[in-house]
Chain A
Amino acid sequence: MVIEQAKQVLKIEAHGILGLVDKIGPEFKKAVEIILKAKGRVILTGMGKSGLVARKITATLNSTGTPSLFLHPAEAIHGDLGMVTKDDIVLAISNSGRTPEINTILPILKNMGARIISFTGAPDSPMAMASDVVIDVGVEREACPLGLAPTASTTAALAMGDALAVVLINKRRFGKEDFRKFHPGGTLGERLALKVKEIMLTGDNVPVVKLGTKVGDAIAVINNKGIGATLVADGNNRLQGIVTDGDLRRALLKSKEIHDLLVDGIMSPSPKTIDENQSAAEALGIMELYGITHLVVVDREKHIKGIAHLHDLLGREEFRINGISRSAPRTDC
């Protein structure tokens, strides 16, 4: 009985969403065009469960490049209408289209010059009549008895919101970089939980010169590898020091002709190091403590395993992860 009932609920909700497929038409297209042309934001509003759906759609639009705000209809008439401008688009959600709080504010919003899009199951309702564009999100059957809680109807409204957001993503050519820009929290959290060995640069990507290398050659390596420094190693690849952009500037202050000098004379001999099994969060802590942007990854015998850069900890497109080398030299150091 329990299993059967749960399955039935899912079937009803699934059919509710499938029913929307045939309802996508010119009105939906018009809504997309209005939002794309808008100079302002998309203001979502709804009461009760529809309000919760509106909040979720707000979050989805915001994280996919469409600036949005949630406006509580009851708060709106007590001053929050001030957050709306004539350049904004209002997206109102009400299954009945008869929610008094919404129908009170729509004429005011319209007078302000905002255009109204509505999601409703009742295209002949007062809310629909007051709207510039009406998107029918009506379903044929609810999964919850007695109207105790909207189920299929709110699921349908939520899905239609997703459809709108995804179409806007494509229309705006919203890319992976944009998504990362809007999601620093999640990405950073995930990355800082990784181990240093999962984000460090390795192999040919690590700038290394031998003791006795001329500074001119070291500059070429620094320039080529693009992280603003090169490590200095002995014949057994054991760490001996680091030459950073700062070391080069300080050397130039002493003498204009540094190309023929040896790295041994200008390098910092005791760069900060970290073990490859320590966490990225620990690496970040060390960098913050000493005000540096690199950590050399070494084993117990000081053999060089790699180098961790601040940008790789925070997440950069061309980082190395699990053996995948970065694709191109960096120029942003």
Chain B
Amino acid sequence: MAFQDPPRGLIVDLVTPTETGDTVDIPGLERLLEKVSQHAHGILISSPWAGEGRKLGLKVKKELFERTMALLPEGLPLLVWISGKDEAETRRNLVALQKVTESTLHDRPIYWVDTPLLYHSNRGLPTLYEELFRLAERPFVVVNDPASVSQVRSSIKRKNIRTSILKEMAEMDFILALIFLGTLDRAYNYQKAVRRHASFRIYDGDEARFLEYPSLSGVVSAGANLVPDKWRAITESSLHLTEEEGDYPDSLKQLWEIGQFLHKLRDIYFPNPPAIIKSALADMGIFGGIPGLEDDDQDILEAKTDILRLVCE
């Protein structure tokens, strides 16, 4: 079965607008998608990073998925994080989300995103994906995120996908990309492992890494919720998606300044991306409010103020 190649470029790691924790703030979602979608090459929802995927219940995930599909411009690829706390929950998530796609008329490329080592060992991963694919016949993007795996399963020995396993998975025609976090040396090994598959993407899951040594597949960016135009400009420049020479004499200076700006912005929201970004978006009028955020949550409030000051400068 042939699937459309995953997008190259900017994948916006969408924050999840919730009203009470178990309901999606639909107007907020609409405003956010309106803000980011014109600059994105793809949208990732329910991610374990900005999307708070591990905290979201299946009801919210389904609603978010359904609403996002309805609101996104036609043809814009949508990536959905499906991982549960164990294999059974991952299967349940997948089946439920697949049902959502079957009940809608929206036709767009959809990719299931999974961090397998959060609930499974390296051994038997290819078999697992054959089974998951049979449940919901859409392509997969796998995630290598050793830091998150360490937090959830500190006792397991291997916190990275083994290179040989990735090589085996890349042979499957429905596993099309990897979101990568980890050391550059591991990135080189992974690149080597998947080289036979020219269209296999390895996205940078670490924005700071992308700003220094950009992967030419693209980046998964939480900061793009705040300044999608700037992230788009840097992504296009880094991936040579447009012509090689700028139209104006100070184009390089401008790119440099945008890069420095994005570094600074990331440093501010990095301690807690979902809370800080959502808080800033609320003040920018995108969301109605942020449930669960206490007035005395001083760190978040200070970070939000810094972000607003930086963005408004």
Alpha-carbon gap, A88 to B215, bound state (A)? 36
Residue in A closest to B209 when the chains form the complex, CB atoms: A141
Number of interface residues of B (CB under 8 A): 33
Shortest Cβ gap from B228 to chain A (Å): 16
Contacts of A36 in B (CB 8 A): none
Q: Is B308 an interface residue (CB 8 A)?
A: no
Q: A8-B213, A139-B216, A141-B215 are in contact. Are A146 and B234 (CB under 8 A)?
A: yes
Number of interface residues of A (CB under 8 A): 34
Contacts of A96 in B (CB 8 A): 240-244
Q: Report yes or no: B211 in contact with A140, Cβ–Cβ below 8 A.
A: no
Q: Is B3 an interface residue (CB 8 A)?
A: no
Residue in B closest to A146 when the chains form the complex, CB atoms: B259
Q: Report yes or no: B195 in contact with A142, Cβ–Cβ below 8 A.
A: no
Alpha-carbon gap, A27 to B259, bound state (A)? 37
Contacts of B214 in A (CB 8 A): 141-142, 145-147
Interface stretch, picked from B80-88, B153-161, B167-175, B183-191, is B183-191
Interface stretch, picked from B34-42, B250-258, B264-272, is B250-258
Contacts of A138 in B (CB 8 A): 198, 216
Please provide the chain A residues from 269 to 315 with a CB less than 8 Å away from any CB of chain B in the complex: none
Q: Report yes or no: B255 in contact with A146, Cβ–Cβ below 8 A.
A: yes
Alpha-carbon gap, A121 to B198, bound state (A)? 11
Residue in A closest to B263 when the chains form the complex, CB atoms: A145
Alpha-carbon gap, A75 to B211, bound state (A)? 35
Q: Report yes or no: B258 in contact with A140, Cβ–Cβ below 8 A.
A: no
Q: Report yes or no: B244 in contact with A141, Cβ–Cβ below 8 A.
A: no
Q: Is B239 an interface residue (CB 8 A)?
A: yes
Q: Is B144 an interface residue (CB 8 A)?
A: no
Q: Is B202 an interface residue (CB 8 A)?
A: yes
Q: Report yes or no: B215 in contact with A140, Cβ–Cβ below 8 A.
A: yes
Q: Is B245 an interface residue (CB 8 A)?
A: yes
Q: A140-B215, A146-B255 are in contact. Are A48 and B187 (CB under 8 A)?
A: no
Contacts of A18 in B (CB 8 A): 192
Contacts of B185 in A (CB 8 A): 11
Q: Report yes or no: B240 in contact with A148, Cβ–Cβ below 8 A.
A: no
Contact with B along A139-169 (1 / 0, CB 8 A): 1111101111010010000000000000000
Name B residues whose Cβ lies closer than 8 Å to a Cβ of A. Answer: 184-185, 187-188, 191-192, 195-196, 198, 202, 211-217, 234, 236-245, 252, 255-256, 258-259
Task: Please name 9 pairs of A and B residues whose Cβ atoms are closer than 8 Å in the assembled complex, sorted by A.
Answer: A8-B213, A15-B188, A19-B192, A47-B245, A96-B244, A140-B215, A146-B237, A146-B255, A150-B244
